[in-house]
Amino acid sequence: MSDFAIEFRDVVKSFAKTDGGRQTILDHVNFTIPVGKTTVIAGGSGQGKSVTLKLILGLMSVDSGQILVSGIDVTGLRGRALEQLRTRFGVLFQGAALFDSLSVFENVALPLRERTTKSEQEIHDQVMAILTQLELTGHEEKFPAQLSGGMRKRVGLARALQLKPEIMLFDEPTTGLDPAMTQDIYNLFARTQKQVGYTAVIVSHDIPKVFRLADQIVVLNEGKTDVFASPEAMQRSQEPHIRAFVESTMGTSECVKETSKK
């Protein structure tokens, strides 16, 4: 069993541009995500943060290189093997990606109905338990369009946690939320991670708030990565592009204040 939940080995990913050329988003990228810890993937817009998540999930394929999940190369997996891999992940999408024609209850019950042989009573009990835990009781008959942004994220989290994932991937989990709600969501992540024990990968530009959760930070910048063992290590970096990123996103004093709360 590998010590790393996920490893990127020399990964290259590029996209076709409208003018006929190609833009390299990840250029021979190497980093590892340790088991049971929280890794934040940060970087400016268009630097490939969400692409990184999609590559891990096999929703996109790499141009070259390897992505290892628990030591197993997952690049090139297809069909049942890819489905099998995905059962180990839980994903909270940027917009929560709830099924808008299903109620909250049906959304959360969906993975249980489709992926397990549990009875309707067991499914009902399990869904209601997690809805209670995430303070969503009383909303189970509502549809996603009737929920606030924060509630949608919580329903998305409830759905993602149903099959007890080993690795949770969060894509911009607090985009569009107010500061209080953002705080609630982060507290929720910390609580559920403690309960379930998953490895968390958070893609976010919500800096410095997200850093209070981070055990490790991966910064994506122009196709390359910089890996820091802690927010403080990142703040101490003298690399000009990291300094620029730190100063543009959080400001020195705020970073000290935020990271000291950890």
198 versus 245: smaller Cβ distance to other proteins: 198
By CB under 8 A, tell whether 120 contacts other proteins.
no
117 versus 121: smaller Cβ distance to other proteins: 117
How far is the C-alpha of 55 from the C-alpha of 75, rounded, in Å?
8
Least gap, CB of 55 to other proteins (angstroms): 13
Binding window for other proteins (CB under 8 A); candidates: 24-32, 41-49, 62-70, 86-94: 86-94
Bridge partner list, 228: 217
Both tokens of residue 116?
């397990």
- Residue choice 23, 30, 84, 116 for contact with other proteins (CB under 8 A): 84
Write the DSSP string, 105-125.
Answer: HHHHHHHHHHH----HHHHHH
- Residue choice 100, 121, 180, 240 for contact with other proteins (CB under 8 A): 100
98 versus 217: smaller Cβ distance to other proteins: 98
Binding window for other proteins (CB under 8 A); candidates: 26-34, 79-87, 119-127, 196-204: 79-87
How many residues bind other proteins (CB under 8 A)? The answer is: 24
How far is the C-alpha of 76 from the C-alpha of 81, rounded, in Å?
10
68 versus 110: smaller Cβ distance to other proteins: 110
By CB under 8 A, tell whether 110 contacts other proteins.
yes
By CB under 8 A, tell whether 94 contacts other proteins.
yes
Q: Is 229:223 a contact under the CB 8 Å cutoff?
A: no
For residue 257, CA distances in Å to 75, 180, 207, 227, 235 come to: 40, 18, 12, 22, 12
Count CB atoms within 10 A of the CB of residue 76.
Answer: 12
The single-letter code of the amino acid at 230 is S
Q: How many residues does the chain have?
A: 262
Which residues here bind other proteins, judged by CB under 8 A?
19-20, 54, 57, 59, 83-84, 86-87, 89, 91, 93-95, 97-100, 110-111, 114-115, 159, 163
